[in-house]
Amino acid sequence: MYKSDAASRPKSSDENLPIVVLGASAGGLDALKAFFSGVSDEARCIYLVITHHKSEQQSMLPELLARSSGKRATEITDGMAPEPDCIYTNPATECFITLEGGKFRLLSACEASARTPSQDGGGNPPMKVYHPIDFTFQQLAEEVQCRLTGIVLSGSGSDGAIGLRSIKAQDGMIMVQQPESAEFSGMPDNAITTGLADYVLPPEDMGAKLAGYLRQCETLGLSKGEDELVSTDQLRRICELLQDRVGHDFSSYKPNTMKRRVAKRMALHRFRKASEYLEYLHHDEDEANHLFRDMLIRVTEFFRDPGLWDYCRNELFPEVLRQHEYSEGFRVWVAGCSTGDEAYSIAILLNEVLREKNISRRVQIFASDLDADAISIARRGEYPAGIVNEVPESLLSRYFSYANDRYKIRKSVREQIIFAPHNLLKDPPFTNIDLISCRNLLIYLNQDLQTDLISLFHMSLRNMGTLVLGPSESVGETSTTFKTLNSKWKVFRRNPDILSERASMQHFRGRRRTDRSLHHTPATAQPLPRDQPAIAEKVLKLLARKFAPGALVMSERGDIFYLHGDAGRFLEPVEGRPRYNIFEMGRGDLPRGLPALMHSAASSEGRVVEKKFKIDPSGDSYVLVGVEKLQAPKSMRGLFLILFHDCETPSASPTGTEEAEQSRDEEEPASHVFELERDLEKSRASYRALLEQVENQNAELRSANEELQSTNEELQSSNEELETSKEETHSLYEELSTINSELVEKVNRLSDANDDMANLLNSTAMAILYLDNELKLKRFTEKAKDIVAVRDSDEGRPIGELAIHLKGEELIEDALSVLSTLKGIEKEVTTKQGDWYLMKLLPYRTRENVVDGLICTFVEINEVKRSQFAESHSRELLSQLSHPFLLVDVDGVVVQITGAMAKALQVESQSAEGMRLTDLVREQRSSEGIAQCLNRILEGSQKTLQMSVRPISQNKSDEAPTLQLEIRKLPAGSGEPQLVWVGLL
């Protein structure tokens, strides 16, 4: 039901080659070509191209990329092992790509969903949206880790934006196409919005950057896990620079994690030594911000770890919501909320439990994080469309609205959450919390700081409060401050019988308060002194000038930072958790009267303002309190110095002088009270006038709000219709863009094929005419100009309008006959110039066997006709010879015969040619003797033979006379047929 981290799988043992995954959609073909045009062979990496194009036909993308890049490109098949410097594309069918054991695997939607266990323990339905780029980024990031580079190119939608978080978590590199250079900027815009991109470049500039980065990674040995690039001292100096530039201390983070992040930045900037990068970091202020953001990996998603959310929804949340009445509401603190995915997940499930169990509770969630950019994303509450694979459909429709290919959390849920930048290491924690969720944050901190934070969470929680940690985190095996509720999902309950383990908290609290003035504006926090010894020294000097009365130093909010002398007797602890605040701990009239005195001191330009306060309500003791707002030294500017002077208690029988002083003392408070009452009345009058004005404005706003709500409902209805149309249009645009790119390539190839065909036809020296069904000229060869008077501009004209050079031939009639009968015509024709051609007219059939005109071919046969004429003349001449003889070939077939010989054999000359000699004559003894004689002559055993034969008379009634034949072999030249001469003696 919910999406979780992919299960751990064994890493490939193959060569540690980097893998570059390029995600593209509509308009991505041009971007891919531009990218590969700038890629050099020295990168030695594997390129995997993932697109959205779905078709039943085989994709042309590998062929197009191979042609533009000069690299081998192929479509992935299941079990294929990748090779370096090759381009692999996903099949056109709907499938998902992953890498297992060094080989590609093709997964169906059901198989891909099965990799994330379902929330209810059953089988997962197929993924609700086809986001192959997100899936491939996530799977390969876990498989190859820092060797992965993710590139997002042109495309509509938001595919790839969610997968980038997995790449960044594994220290991979991310490139995004510059939106201005993209035909469709949806995917690049969403990727840039995540704030995770290392480079935003035009695609033609990416190749050089990629090659430099991969070369530097190989030099630094990042893919092999080298961790000695940065020394401990260099890491300490980097932490100091970060604290000075961005105001956050990373010295308590785990060193190995920080070293990997620093090494990644070194590879991006092509530094080989940490000292070089340290120098660069010192001079470039922007680099400190980039390194700071890399330290804060936004590894989060909706309903991460589905088993935990099952447990929360079915067991934990119903139980804790029924425990108490929660008059202040059910308070939740999500520490390290990143982009707000987990905070919204908790809010959604809490609302679901309240709705299902019919419980009425006010839910208030505080979500904090060190990353201000991530907090801005969380406040907007807008997420890529890919979250449909993380959020169940029922919750998606109930708590989200869809617009502009993004999902936005509904206002009712958004108003339950307060997002705020917060530093756990130095800022005060949230208090009176019922549930704290701090998942996958402690693993980045050292053990001492983890212990301190656990103590901090214990103090922040109410009695029986709940703490939820990440799967690799714990409160400590020996800790007694928490009881384990669920050991598998690391859910703990605060132990009310054990005080917080605060042995190490003094150092921790001092660090949190340190340098607070450097990173907050005066409106939100007061500047604090840098170190305790310096405070003591400066305060003692000030008190020495004031004759060292009891005193304290505090902020305008009443937080006490230093006590001197017997000032502690004017304070008393209150029930509950100790708070060093004078407004909570002050005795007598101090908490009520001190704010007015501080206000007067703040406007008195450094002068001391004094007033008497009654400290003990049951007694008559007074204290003279002096308040001064400090202007110097600079480190204490804005703080207040409070001085306490004891006043003598009035005697029972005062003297005259004492009576006068007592009278003045009594008059002064009365006059002061009168002034205060007069100011109060003025304030009340102003307040009433302001209240009336506000009420009038509120009435107008309510009226306007009703009108806006009515308009908004109409706009919402129209917007839903537009969104539906927009989704269909986007899908159509993607298909059309991909098809258009392929068609452009096909047109280019067709143009090349036409040129090849034209050259081929012209080289054959054949006259060819292509005619359509209306006998209009479609195409012709150069030789056709000898048959028809045609020019290049005559294409499309009827053949009947052109001059035909054939003599006495009806080309038009023959063409119409072929079109009507669909039977070809073959005949010999001659031109008016006397040239002979063999004309063939055949129907022109398409691949669908549809007749679409006819093709006319004219083969020049002048040589053939001349040979025929010569043969005819030779036969005529031979027939006139008086000597009887004939010529036979090696098979005994009569080739030529004279008229005299035909007469002797009693046959016609024309009928005799082509007959066997054995069919014309027979030897007196047997007819087989003629064949034997011919064989001996041809073999050369005898040069001349004579034999007696009798003609086989064609008229059976006639008696044929005996003839004497002489047989001899005629000489033959090279390539000429062998003939035998047979004559009468």
Sign of CA dihedral 252, 257, 262, 265: negative
Which residue among 25, 69, 154, 455 is the active-site one? 25
Which residue among 4, 52, 156, 369 is the active-site one? 52
- CA distances (Å), origin 543, targets 253, 547, 590, 602, 635: 41, 6, 21, 19, 17
* Residue 813 neighbours by CB distance under 10 Å: 9
Q: Is 433 exposed, middle or buried (0-12, 13-18, 19+ CB in 10 A)?
A: buried
Q: How far apart, in whole angstroms, are the C-alpha atoms of residue 154 and residue 927?
A: 91
How many C-alpha atoms does 189 have within 13 Å on its Cβ side?
Answer: 14
Q: How far apart, in whole angstroms, are the C-alpha atoms of residue 745 and residue 594?
A: 83
Both tokens of 206, joined, read: 């990416």
Q: How far apart, in whole angstroms, are the C-alpha atoms of residue 909 and residue 147?
A: 92
User: Are 964 and 948 within 8 A, CB to CB?
Assistant: yes
* Residue 719 neighbours by CB distance under 10 Å: 15
Q: How far apart, in whole angstroms, are the C-alpha atoms of residue 317 and residue 321?
A: 6
SS3 600: helix
Place of tokens 């012209």: 762
Q: Does residue 248 carry a catalytic annotation?
A: no
Helix axis angle, 232-246 to 285-295, nearest 10°:
110
Q: Does residue 730 carry a catalytic annotation?
A: no
Q: How far apart, in whole angstroms, are the C-alpha atoms of residue 587 and residue 971?
A: 147
Both tokens of 825, joined, read: 């015509």
Q: How far apart, in whole angstroms, are the C-alpha atoms of residue 514 and residue 679?
A: 41
Helix axis angle, 656-763 to 28-37, nearest 10°:
90
> Does a cis peptide bond (omega within 30 degrees of 0) precede residue 82?
no
Which residue among 59, 113, 156, 159 is the active-site one? 159
Q: Does residue 786 carry a catalytic annotation?
A: no
Sign of CA dihedral 117, 120, 125, 130: negative
> Does a cis peptide bond (omega within 30 degrees of 0) precede residue 633?
yes
Which amino acid type is present at position 682? K
Query: For 517-523, which contacts have Cβ atoms below 8 Å and span 24 or more sequence positions?
Result: 517/635, 518/247, 519/247, 519/248, 522/638
Sign of CA dihedral 735, 736, 739, 745: negative
Q: How far apart, in whole angstroms, are the C-alpha atoms of residue 298 and residue 167?
A: 11
Among 475, 508, 518, smallest CA distance to 251 is for 508
Q: How far apart, in whole angstroms, are the C-alpha atoms of residue 714 and residue 710?
A: 7
DSSP string, 269-305: HT-SSHHHHHHHHHH-HHHHHHHHHHHS-----TT-S
Place of tokens 């961005």: 246
Which residues have a catalytic role annotated? 25, 52, 159
